[in-house]
Chain A
Amino acid sequence: MVAFLRYLINGISLGSVYAIIALGYSMVYGIAKMLNFAHGDIIMIGAYIVYCVMVYLTMPPLIAVLCAVVVCTILGIVIERLAYKPLRQSASLAVLITAIGVSYFLQNAAMLIWGSNPKVFSSVFALGSLRLLNGELVISSETLLTIGANIVIMVALTLFTGKTKMGKAMRAVSEDKGAAELMGINVNRTISMTFAIGSALAAIAGALLCSTTNPNLVPTTGSMPGIKAFTAAVFGGIGSIPGALIGGLLLGVIEILGKAYISTELSDALVFAVLIIVLLFKPAGLLGKPMREKV
């Protein structure tokens, strides 16, 4: 029973990281109507920045994460301007292939800068741990922090999109870009903003990921979590904030429980099998609205 609880909490923690990454995918998809496959690699860049600032500049973790957020935000905006914006009117396939290209570019750039030897992440947030049930259930501070960060981010983003001027503009653009533009909303600025927010979240996710489940940082670190977070976004209903949360959490829990009770090797396969089954019955994802046929 205690073991199950431990797996569950680990699953929720991993799922929280997926959810934060999935938000980036989901927001960018919702607003720019494109799949930014380079999103996973932004996570990796963010993690490297955290590592460098902490190890080479010996700064405290909080400053390191802030630096990573700033760098990734700028990186996200620059990538959008240089790679995606010129293709705004092109076929979606062209944008998709460009995104894959950007992904490889970032991985190889990281390889060039930091080499392919893993950088070993010592815990970013070493604060001790929480002991429950007479010390049988130990929850590390990273786990708590990850779950907490996820909650804070979800609440902040929900408030942002629901209440602020920019957030409302984003929702308008995601529903009807043309109409929003005719109402005086600057679509380009809105899309830049979306990339900025998504990339900032990716930086946080990178720090959390490498200090919890994935301590060996290599240039391809971002790709698998990226793909899983994308799965989580589709799973929950792409374009929806609560969808990203639920998709991420479910995926994390399934993965960890699968690893614990079925097979470590099969856990990834299990994750994708669940996705396939969900999509067979709910093609728009758990919280996605079914597509209306426009006549």
Chain B
Amino acid sequence: MSERPKRRSTTKMVPMPSQAIIPERDVHDIPVLEARHLGIEFGGLKAVDDFNLTIGKTEIAGLIGPNGAGKTTVFNLLTKVYEPTTGAVLINGRDLHGLSIVQASKLGIARTFQNIRLFDKMTVEENVRIGLHNQIKYDMLSGILRLPRYWKQEKRQHEKAMELLDIFGMQDLADEVAGSLPYGVQRRLEIVRALATDPKLLLLDEPAAGMNPHETEELMENIAKIRDRFQIAILLIEHDMSLVMGVCEGICVLNFGRVIAKGTADEIQANPVVIEAYLGKKKEAAT
């Protein structure tokens, strides 16, 4: 009997993210998002380091932190705009490694932008229809020759766009040019456009920026409404704490590119580390 070859497993072992928390109702489903040890460096500077986050299938989660903490960078990592230096992103259990932005979008991730990036010269409906792009099936020939299939698709698309615009009561604005709309309406349209891509996870980058308290409250209701209606998960970056504390189930606090706290609204508000990050260290009483 010959000697068995000496084999040594080359499997790289990595620590699993510890203590992920998700809503109880989502426990039996695959988490919509799992970010594992996600990190990115820009010329030696670690903009995001060892970022772990798990989001349940229908969770509304918040990502907060002081300015420059790396929140938008996290969004860019999750949507493949940036390629992470370390770690992995899983959408519905599927690794995004090696996928393009478009492929990630097809897996069900959509976003809005901190500084609104609508297609300004297009109408409101056209903007929504750009979101529907990958759900339209007709070849170019039937598009140019106007075959029946084109009209059928065209009608269905129009109905779908109107249905989505109805979430924010924006049907009347369908033919307005997006660039001419008031700021708050543009923010809402961006959410509708993102929803049109049929996402499983919707990322909102400062959705309440520039809104008054009344509009913010309305937005809060709408965020909950979107989650209930589409049964999707939402991750939002926001500085308006009334919105974050009011609507987010799980909150993740980022500072200098690292997660410093995770938990429910109550836990976060009571967390001394978070208070320190936002307000600075409390001075020791002079002795």
Residue of A nearest to B203 (CB): A182
- Docked complex: B80-114 residues within 8 A CB-CB of A: 81, 101-102, 105-106, 110-111, 113
What are the interface flags for B5-27 relative to A under an 8 Å C-beta threshold, 1 for contact and 0 otherwise?
00000000000000000000000
Selected contact of A182 from candidates B79, B119, B120, B122, CB within 8 Å: B79
Q: Enumerate chain A residues within 8 angstroms of B79, measured Cβ to Cβ.
A: 182
Cβ of A62: which chain B residues have Cβ within 8 Å of it? Answer: none
User: A183 to B126, Cβ gap below 8 A?
Assistant: no
Looking at chain B, what size class is its interface with the partner chain? Answer: 20 to 34
B residues 135-167 near A (Cβ < 8 Å) are: 136, 138, 140, 143-144
CA of A176 to CA of B118, assembled, Å: 8
- A30 to B101: give the CA distance in the assembly, Å: 22
A172 touches which one: B102, B105, B119, B138 (CB < 8 A)?
B119
Tell me how many residue pairs across A and B have CB atoms closer than 8 Å.
71
- If A169-B133, A182-B111 touch, whether A163 touches B197 (CB-CB below 8 Å) is no
Interface residues of B in 165-218 (CB under 8 A from A): 193-194, 197
Please tell me if A216 contacts chain B, counting CB pairs below 8 Å.
no
Q: Is the CB of B144 within 8 A of A171?
A: no
What's the tally of chain A residues with a CB closer than 8 Å to chain B? 23
Q: Given A164-B140, A165-B136, A169-B130, is A179 in contact with B122 using a C-beta cutoff of 8 Å?
A: no
Is A114 on the interface with B (CB-CB < 8 A)? no
Decide: B134 and A175 in contact? CB cutoff 8 A: no
Among B79, B133, B140, B193, residue most surrounded by chain A Cβ atoms (within 10 Å): B133
Q: Is the interface of A mostly helix, strand, loop or mixed?
A: helix
A152-209, CB < 8 A from B: 156, 159-160, 163-166, 168-169, 171-172, 175-176, 178-187
Is B131's beta carbon under 8 Å from chain A? Answer: yes
Are A163 and B143 closer than 8 Å at their CB atoms? yes
Report whether B105 and A182 are in contact in the complex, using a CB–CB cutoff of 8 Å. yes
Q: Are B119 and A176 in contact (CB-based, < 8 A)?
A: yes
Shortest C-beta distance, B104 to chain A (Å), equals 9
Assess the B197–A184 pair: CB atoms within 8 A.
yes
- State in angstroms the CA–CA spacing of A248 and B193 once bound together: 37
Are A184 and B102 in contact, CB atoms less than 8 angstroms apart?
yes
- Chain B hits for A184, CB < 8 A: 102, 105-106, 131, 133-134, 197
B59: min CB distance to chain A, Å: 22
State the CA gap A21–B25 with chains docked (Å): 61
| B134 contacts across to A, CB distance below 8 A | 184
B102 near A178 (CB under 8 angstroms)? no
Are B129 and A168 within 8 A (Cβ)? yes
Query: Does B225 reach chain A (CB closer than 8 Å)?
Result: no
Digit string of B220-237 for contact with A (CB within 8 Å is 1, else 0)? 000000000000000000
Task: Give per-residue flags for B244-277: 1 if the beta carbon is below 8 A from chain A beta carbons, else 0.
Answer: 0000000000000000000000000000000000
Shortest A178–chain B CB gap in Å is: 7
Most chain A CB within 10 A, of B102, B105, B131, B134, is at B102
On chain B, the residues within 8 Å of A160 by CB distance are: 143-144
B121 adjacent to A176 (CB under 8 Å): no
Q: In the complex, what distance in Å separates the CA atom of A164 from the CA atom of B134? A: 13
Closest to B196 in A: A183
Q: Given the known A-B contacts A175-B121, A176-B117, are A168 and B144 also in contact in the complex, defined by CB atoms under 8 Å?
A: no
Contact A183 B197 (CB under 8 A): yes
Q: List 17 A-B contacts (CB under 8 A).
A: A159-B144, A166-B140, A168-B126, A171-B126, A172-B119, A175-B120, A176-B119, A179-B119, A182-B110, A182-B111, A183-B110, A183-B130, A183-B131, A183-B133, A183-B193, A183-B197, A187-B102
